[in-house]
Structure 1
Amino acid sequence: MPPAPSNGRQLLTGIEASGAFPVEYRFAHAQKGNRHLVVVFANFSAPADYGWSNGVFDKLRANILWIRDSFAGSQSYYLCREMDFALEQSVIGLISKVMTALGLTTDSVTLWGGSKGGSAALYFGLKYGFRNIVAIAPQLAVGTYVKTVHPRVARFMLGEAVPEENVRIMDALIPDLARSGVHRSANIYLVSSAQDDQYPVQVEPYLGLFQHYENFNFVFSDSPHIADHTQVAGRNVPLLMGIVNFLIDGIAPRLGFVRNGFEEPDRDRSAIDSYLSATATVRGADFPAPVVTAPAPRSQVRRDAVRFTGRAAGALRVIVWEHGKYLGQSDVGPDGTWSWELGRAWSKGEHPVKIYAVDAVGYQSGRTEVRFTAVDSVPGPATPTSPGAPAPMVSTVGPSATAPVVLEPVAHEQVLDSHVVFSGSAAGAVQVGFRENGMLLSGAPVAANGGWTWESGWPWSEGPHVVDVFAVDGAGTESTVTRVPFTVMNVSAAAASPVSYYGGSF
């Protein structure tokens, strides 16, 4: 769930699942109508296998497509699994569909990557005819490199036994493309350094293969401030950002006459918006948000005894966040139940926690928010003031007094139908009740699995409503309420202004 970049550009996440291997991506629209696409491949140490996602591209005006190198839990150089290059076809399929949706050709695309990502940029750029390639400290003999440096990746890519024949095949992929002279008009910018211990075996022996390329540029950094392979990119980013900005403007740094510009601020974005929506990671209605059975919304919980429980049908795991920060995750059992604890005491005060589910492909559900207050101690029942006097009712956190979870309508939702359907869960309860302005509206039974649903049978008036939903257990004890404010919209007016949503951030 990526945050928005510092310059406010929204990051959209999705999965292209039409190929043999689902490919996860992030996307940011161009600024000021720019007509260019930068495709970013990740290096080995990239967070969450997305490279260059630390804000370095914030000021680029182009569309940006980050592609995740994570397939069946392993990295792959975006190439293959056990020599099955259907993985590569899945990756180029994603790039091609984004280009088509943007109305672009390979002449308006720059491939960018460092280390492993640099190798991918060279390979895909040469093989598929992309105009611009920026490769920073790449490995050109990929098979030997993964065999000696990343054996787990080698087993994933080349097969469990890592056969020497497969090592040789992988070593030859990029050199053979360069040797053939394919796509000689490409603008190639290759960066390496004397301080990179990979340079003598992974770059220098292959430089001669590019001598016939019309605009091959080799940036060789020899600086005492570069300590190793991992620092080559950092010392060259300002220069490379300048080159990419030129490439975005249609200028490959060289002698000759070129045009630049190509901005179309008013260009129709419906095609790319439709593609991003169709492949969005967050599935919403197609993948229900997880049900949280504890802690109860708005409850007070001892801060060293907070335990989340719930259900998430069809999910592999649930992910827990607060204030945009990842807190942890938990696997979902075969019966759909899950539980999670922070592992330390929560800070005192209110906590707005958001939880979403992830399935085996990587799609995300909608979000469930649970607000609770962490306290040092939870008050117990008060002592009766006189013999025989009943003790005042005190809400306690427990199965018989847990406030119901309301999944719909969502708090503050604008409902586009006068027939409002309420649904949710109430663990340990036998029925739920509904009040508005203190008046009891109706009740609904709770199923054995804790689920419930209720429809009033009458049309709700247009405007704001606040309904209190409470649960009742087998002993007749009433829980604290879950308050649901919502607004019934003018249905005819709302229908004239449809709203679409896609994305993957809170």
Structure 2
Amino acid sequence: MGIIVEKLEKRYEASNGVTLTYLEDPYPVKNAAGERKLLVIFQPVGTEGKEDRFKFPYSLIDGLRYYNCRKIYIKDNFGELGSFYIGLNGSTNIYSAVQEFLMKKISEYKILKKDVTFYGGSKGGYASLAHGFDLGVGNIVSAIPQFKLFDYISRWKPIMFDVFPTAVNDSIKDYYNNFLKTKIVKGYNKPNVFIVTSRKDELFEDHVVPLIETLRESGCRPHVWENNEEYVLRHNKVVENSLNEILTMISMCLSDEKIRDFFQ
């Protein structure tokens, strides 16, 4: 990596007592056109068995180096492997803190919400959708996101059960399984949504299919791109084999509207 992350990390103390760790513009904007665009990057699930500094790495810092826009990388270093940017032990305090932080930065930068793009893969993809619809941003690029959170953690990541309350009943299960759906349905703004997925992803049928249905039923027209090539073997191989397409989508979101019109 071309930069020393630890020296550039910042902390945000939210009004509810949560401390967020983030990285802001490691490679600065070039001009006024870049200053009016914001790209927020949410992180995937942490890596088991690693020390904290290696367990929760930032995504695409060097990969986005030449993108002329403001960038914020938000770390989800709570719990065993992250909190899905929601909270731990049944709390939503981290979710509230992230919302507060992002609203403050958007206001500080004097950026219109239509010029804000959220990106994330897997857990980050889930967060980009939930926070994106809640805040009413202009664009969301979400790769291989989960949809039914309780079902996902129960089956695939039981180590992350610390997201839920100690006592789990059917009401709690429904709340977390419908958390993202509720944000999409109640979202006052219908952003441009790009979904990167694969039929070889273990989550495709149970998560991606109902997600796309919900987006369409809510009035969105998601742009869905499937990478079903033979070298894509499972969930955690989709993003690394689809970076050209992911970066293209982010580029389109950040580009001038005249360029977008050219490709339509």
Q: 1:193 & 1:257 partners in 2: Cα distance?
A: 24
Name 2:29's counterpart in structure 1: 31
Query: Contact 1:140–1:203 (CA<8 Å) still a contact in 2?
Result: yes
Query: Contact 2:193–2:223 (CA<8 Å) still a contact in 1?
Result: yes
| Residues paired across the two proteins, number | 252
Q: 2:79 & 2:220 partners in 1: Cα distance?
A: 39
> Could you give the per-residue CA deviations for residues 101-146 of structure 1, whole angstroms, max 9, x where no partner exists?
2221322211000001000001011111011101000001111111
Question: Which fold has the larger relative contact order, with Cα–Cα distance below 8 Å and residues 6 or more apart in sequence?
Answer: 2
Q: Which TM-score applies when normalising by structure 2?
A: 0.85
**Which letter maps to 2:225?**
V
Q: 1:73 & 1:224 partners in 2: Cα distance?
A: 33
Name 2:212's counterpart in structure 1: 207
Mapping for residues 252-291 of structure 1, pairs under 5 Å:
none
- Structure 1: where are the runs of 5+ without partners? 259-506
Give the C-alpha shift of residue 219 in structure 1: 0.9
223, 228, 234: which is aligned to 1:222? 228
Matched, 1:240 2:246: yes
Give the C-alpha shift of residue 65 in structure 1: 0.7
Give the C-alpha shift of residue 223 in structure 1: 0.8
Query: Contact 1:106–1:129 (CA<8 Å) still a contact in 2?
Result: yes
**Which letter maps to 2:170?**
E
Name 1:231's counterpart in structure 2: 237
Query: Contact 1:118–1:139 (CA<8 Å) still a contact in 2?
Result: yes
145, 162, 187: which is aligned to 2:192? 187
Judged with a 3 Å threshold, the aligned counterparts in structure 2 of structure 1 residues 181 and 247 are, in CA distance, closer, same or farther, namely same
Name whichever of 156-165 and 89-98 sits farther off. 156-165
**Which letter maps to 2:157?**
H
**Which letter maps to 2:21?**
E
Judged with a 3 Å threshold, the aligned counterparts in structure 2 of structure 1 residues 88 and 122 are, in CA distance, closer, same or farther, namely same
Matched, 1:135 2:114: no
**Which letter maps to 1:236?**
S
Name 2:13's counterpart in structure 1: 17
Query: Contact 2:117–2:140 (CA<8 Å) still a contact in 1?
Result: yes
Query: Contact 2:134–2:183 (CA<8 Å) still a contact in 1?
Result: yes
**Which letter maps to 2:9?**
T
Q: 2:248 & 2:148 partners in 1: Cα distance?
A: 29
Name 1:40's counterpart in structure 2: 41
Q: 1:257 & 1:220 partners in 2: Cα distance?
A: 20
Judged with a 3 Å threshold, the aligned counterparts in structure 2 of structure 1 residues 18 and 206 are, in CA distance, closer, same or farther, namely closer
Name 2:67's counterpart in structure 1: 60
Q: Which TM-score applies when normalising by structure 1?
A: 0.46
Task: Extract structure 1 runs of 4+ deviating beyond 6 A.
Answer: none
Judged with a 3 Å threshold, the aligned counterparts in structure 2 of structure 1 residues 55 and 163 are, in CA distance, closer, same or farther, namely farther
Name 2:173's counterpart in structure 1: 167
Q: 1:252 & 1:90 partners in 2: Cα distance?
A: 36
Judged with a 3 Å threshold, the aligned counterparts in structure 2 of structure 1 residues 72 and 221 are, in CA distance, closer, same or farther, namely closer
Name 2:51's counterpart in structure 1: none
Query: Contact 1:11–1:27 (CA<8 Å) still a contact in 2?
Result: no
Name 2:152's counterpart in structure 1: 145
The structure richer in helix per residue is: 2
87, 112, 129: which is aligned to 1:122? 129
Judged with a 3 Å threshold, the aligned counterparts in structure 2 of structure 1 residues 219 and 11 are, in CA distance, closer, same or farther, namely farther
Query: Contact 1:21–1:86 (CA<8 Å) still a contact in 2?
Result: yes
181, 196, 202: which is aligned to 1:197? 202
Name 1:357's counterpart in structure 2: none
Name 1:92's counterpart in structure 2: 99
Give the C-alpha shift of residue 178 in structure 1: 3.0
Name 1:249's counterpart in structure 2: 255
Judged with a 3 Å threshold, the aligned counterparts in structure 2 of structure 1 residues 85 and 229 are, in CA distance, closer, same or farther, namely same
Judged with a 3 Å threshold, the aligned counterparts in structure 2 of structure 1 residues 209 and 74 are, in CA distance, closer, same or farther, namely closer
Query: Contact 2:139–2:253 (CA<8 Å) still a contact in 1?
Result: yes
RMSD: 2.7
Name 1:176's counterpart in structure 2: 182
**Which letter maps to 2:183?**
L
Q: 1:51 & 1:163 partners in 2: Cα distance?
A: 34
Give the C-alpha shift of residue 254 in structure 1: 6.4
Name 1:397's counterpart in structure 2: none
- Structure 2: where are the runs of 5+ without partners? 48-53
Q: 1:257 & 1:224 partners in 2: Cα distance?
A: 29
Give the C-alpha shift of residue 218 in structure 1: 0.8
